[in-house]
Amino acid sequence: MITKKEMQYAFVIDKEGKKLSPTPVDNAWYLIRKDKAELIEQYPMVIRLNKTLPQRKVDDNPIVLGIDDGAHKVGIALVQRCKTKNKVLFKGVIDLRQDVSKKMDERRGYRRYRRSHKRYREKRFDNRGSSKRKGRIPPSIYQKKEAILRVVKRLNKYVRIDKIIIEDVAIDIRALTEGYKPYKWQYQKSNRLDENLRRATFMRDDYTCQMCGKNFAKLEAHHIVPLRDSGSNSIYNLITLCCDCHEKVTGNESEYKEKFLNIIEGRELDLKPAMHVMQGKSYLRSELKKIANLEITDGGTTANKRIDYGISKSHTDDAICITGLLPVDTVDVKEVTIKPIRTKKKNRIEELEGFQHRDIIRYTKRDGTKYEGYITALRIKNNKYNSKVCNFRSFSEKTYRGYGFRNLTLINRPKGLMFI
Ligand SMILES: [Zn+2]
C-alpha cells in the first residue's frame, strides 16, 4: 500500500547531553551498530553519541515547533530552517482524552453518596473554594492543555526548540454569530472563502460529505446558492461536499438546491469544541512562553500557505504550515500518534510475567494476525490454575479481556505519554 518510504528522524544528544540536530532513523541505527552511539529510547527514537561535540560544531539552524490546537486532536510539527530546503523533523497528532468530564461526574457522584451516608457528620456547604477561584480552568480543558505541554516538554528534552508558533483560535465564534466580516488577508485574495466559515461548515456537517458520506476525502464547502446568483457567504448557504461530489454539483446548483437546504435545515453548529480550545488558550500560551519564544499566527495565514504549497489538510500538515517554514523538502514524514495516558495511582498487581500496566504490547493470534495495544489490567484468575491474565486495548480502541501472556511481546514501556 505504501509505495514511498516515509522519512523518520531520531533525536540525537551527545555524551554531555547537548541537544544536536536529529538524524534519519537509518543513520541512527547505523551509528548504534558501529558503536558510535547508544539507544536511549525507541519511541520516540533517541540516541546518545559516545563522544562530546564541541559547541562550534553544533548545527544551530533554528528549529521551530508548530502547534495546531484542537478540541479532539492537536497537530504538532518540528521544522528546521535549512539553507536549501527546510526539513520536517517530526510530526505527530496528540489524541486528547475525552473522558475527563465524564470521570469528574462519576467522582462527584461517589463523593456525594459517601457524604450523604455519613449521618453523624454535619452537613457542609459553600465549600467549593477551588471551583470558584478566578481564572480557573475546568479540569476537562486543563487536562487538554496539560497534555500538549507534556508533549512539548518531552520533545524539548531531546531537541532544541528555538521558537514555538501557535495558531490563534481555529474558529472565530464571533464572526459567525455577528455576521460576516472578512479578514485582512481576504481583501488581497478575494476569491477564497473565509477559512473561518469553511471550518465552521465542516464542523457542523461533522467533516463528512453530505452527498456520498465520505469523510476521508478532501472536503470542500459548497455554496448552495452560488455567489453569482447573489447567494450569501454565510453558514446557512454552505454545505460540506467531497471534491468529487462538488464537481458533479458545480454547474447544476439549482438542481440540488432544495435537497441541500433540507439536509442542513435546523442543523446547528456545536460550538463546544471551539470554546474548549478558546478557554485554556491563555494558560497554554503563558506556559509555552516558559519553554521557548512564542509567536501567534492566525488561521487565515495558515490556510493560505497550505493552499499555496498544495499541502493536504490534516492536523500535522497544518502544524507544518503554522511554522511558516515553507517549502519543506517533503511532508512524507511518519506521523506519530501521541496518547496521553492516565496514571494509575494504585495497582493491586504491579507486575505480572514481566508486564506492567500501560505497557505497549503486540499480541499474535494463532492464525498469525497481530494486534498492537496497551495493557489496561493485570490479574490472577480465581480458577484452579490461578492463571495469570491481562486485559489490553488495541490502538483501534477495542478491548480484549483475559488474555494470557504467552502470545504477548513487549514493545515499549511508555513514560506518561505513548508515542505510537
Ligand atoms: Zn462526496
d(CA 217, ligand 1 centre) in Å: 8
d(CA 240, ligand 1 centre) in Å: 9
Residue 310 lies in a domain: yes
Residue 250 lies in a domain: yes
Q: What pLDDT shows up at residue 31?
A: 93
Coil, helix or strand at residue 262: helix
Q: Are residues 256 and 214 in the same domain?
A: yes
Residue 189 lies in a domain: no
Mean pLDDT score, 300-323:
77
Provide the β-strand partners of residue 339: 418
- Global pTM reads 0.71
Q: Are residues 315 and 285 in the same domain?
A: yes
Q: Are residues 233 and 277 in the same domain?
A: no
The model's confidence at residue 359, banded by pLDDT at 50, 70 and 90, is confident
Residue 294 lies in a domain: yes
- Sign of dihedral through CA atoms 143, 73, 324, 176? negative
Point out the domain boundary residue: 220, 237, 264.
Answer: 264
Residue 19 lies in a domain: yes
Mean pLDDT score, 41-68:
87
Q: Are residues 158 and 278 in the same domain?
A: yes
Q: Are residues 23 and 151 in the same domain?
A: no
Q: What pLDDT shows up at residue 387?
A: 87
d(CA 218, ligand 1 centre) in Å: 9
Q: What pLDDT shows up at residue 373?
A: 87
Lowest mean pLDDT, pick from 35-49, 82-96, 128-142, 180-194? 180-194
Q: What pLDDT shows up at residue 115?
A: 80
At 279, which helix (H) or strand (E)?
helix 272-279
**Cell digits of residue 130:** 477551588
d(CA 243, ligand 1 centre) in Å: 7
Q: What pLDDT shows up at residue 415?
A: 75
d(CA 246, ligand 1 centre) in Å: 7
At 361, which helix (H) or strand (E)?
strand 360-364
Q: What pLDDT shows up at residue 233?
A: 79
Alpha-carbon distance 330 to 162, whole Å? 21
Instruction: Kindly list the protein residues that place their beta carbon closer than 5 angstroms to ligand 1, a single-atom ion.
Output: 209, 211-212, 214, 242, 245
Q: Are residues 24 and 78 in the same domain?
A: no
| Type of residue numbered 58 | V
Residue 179 lies in a domain: no
**Cell digits of residue 35:** 558503536
Using H for helix, E for strand and C for coil, what is the string for 188-204? HCCCCCCHHHHHHHHHH
Alpha-carbon distance 376 to 141, whole Å? 24
d(CA 250, ligand 1 centre) in Å: 13
Mean pLDDT score, 68-96:
87
Residue 124 lies in a domain: no
The model's confidence at residue 112, banded by pLDDT at 50, 70 and 90, is confident
Q: What pLDDT shows up at residue 186?
A: 45
CA-to-CA dists, residue 18 to 12, 79, 164, angstroms: 9, 19, 20
Q: Are residues 219 and 297 in the same domain?
A: no
Q: Are residues 256 and 401 in the same domain?
A: no
Mean pLDDT score, 137-162:
90
The model's confidence at residue 189, banded by pLDDT at 50, 70 and 90, is very low
d(CA 174, ligand 1 centre) in Å: 30
| Type of residue numbered 135 | G
Q: What pLDDT shows up at residue 290?
A: 92
The model's confidence at residue 178, banded by pLDDT at 50, 70 and 90, is very low
Alpha-carbon distance 304 to 288, whole Å? 25
Q: Let me know: does 343 contact 416? Beta carbons within 8 Å.
A: yes
Q: What pLDDT shows up at residue 339?
A: 85
Helix H segments across 19-160? 25-33, 100-116, 129-132, 139-158
Q: What pLDDT shows up at residue 195?
A: 66
**Cell digits of residue 48:** 546518545
Non-local (6+) Cβ contacts of 282 within 8 A are none
Point out the domain boundary residue: 339, 354, 388.
Answer: 339
The model's confidence at residue 170, banded by pLDDT at 50, 70 and 90, is low
Q: What pLDDT shows up at residue 174?
A: 58
Q: What pLDDT shows up at residue 4?
A: 59
CATH of the domain at 406: 2.30.30
Point out the domain boundary residue: 317, 339, 361.
Answer: 339
- Sign of dihedral through CA atoms 271, 276, 280, 285? negative
* Stronger pLDDT, 276 or 376, i.e. the higher one: 376
d(CA 91, ligand 1 centre) in Å: 28
Q: Are residues 76 and 145 in the same domain?
A: yes
d(CA 88, ligand 1 centre) in Å: 32
Q: What pLDDT shows up at residue 172?
A: 59
The model's confidence at residue 2, banded by pLDDT at 50, 70 and 90, is very low
d(CA 209, ligand 1 centre) in Å: 5
Coil, helix or strand at residue 372: strand
d(CA 201, ligand 1 centre) in Å: 15
Q: Are residues 333 and 254 in the same domain?
A: no
pLDDT at residue 82 greater than cutoff 90:
no
Mean pLDDT score, 77-88:
87
d(CA 220, ligand 1 centre) in Å: 10
Provide the β-strand partners of residue 54: none
Tens of pLDDT, residue by residue over 22-35, are 999 999 999 999 99
Tens of pLDDT, residue by residue over 366-401, are 888 888 888 888 888 888 888 889 999 887 778 888
d(CA 238, ligand 1 centre) in Å: 15
d(CA 72, ligand 1 centre) in Å: 24
Q: Count the Cβ atoms, other than its own, within 10 Å of residue 123.
A: 7
Considering the chain, what percentage of its residues have pLDDT values greater than 70?
86
Q: Are residues 376 and 286 in the same domain?
A: no
d(CA 247, ligand 1 centre) in Å: 9
Tens of pLDDT, residue by residue over 205-229, are 877 889 998 766 677 889 999 888 8
Alpha-carbon distance 287 to 338, whole Å? 20
The model's confidence at residue 191, banded by pLDDT at 50, 70 and 90, is very low
Residue with cell 544528544: 13
Query: Which among 177, 141, 173, 8 has a CA at the least distance from the CA of 78?
Result: 8
Its domain, for residue 368, covers 343-419
pLDDT at residue 93 greater than cutoff 80:
yes
**How many structural domains comprise the chain?**
4
The whole-chain average pLDDT of the chain stands at 82
CATH of the domain at 250: 1.10.30
Q: What pLDDT shows up at residue 13?
A: 92
Alpha-carbon distance 347 to 226, whole Å? 61
Considering the chain, what percentage of its residues have pLDDT values greater than 90?
20
Alpha-carbon distance 364 to 371, whole Å? 7
Residue 322 exposed, middle or buried by CB count within 10 Å (0-12, 13-18, 19+)? buried
β-pairing, 163-167 vs 87-95, is unpaired
Query: Which among 99, 122, 12, 94 has a CA at the least distance from the CA of 416?
Result: 94
The model's confidence at residue 187, banded by pLDDT at 50, 70 and 90, is very low
d(CA 337, ligand 1 centre) in Å: 27
d(CA 23, ligand 1 centre) in Å: 41
d(CA 242, ligand 1 centre) in Å: 4
Q: Are residues 348 and 413 in the same domain?
A: yes
Residue 132 lies in a domain: no
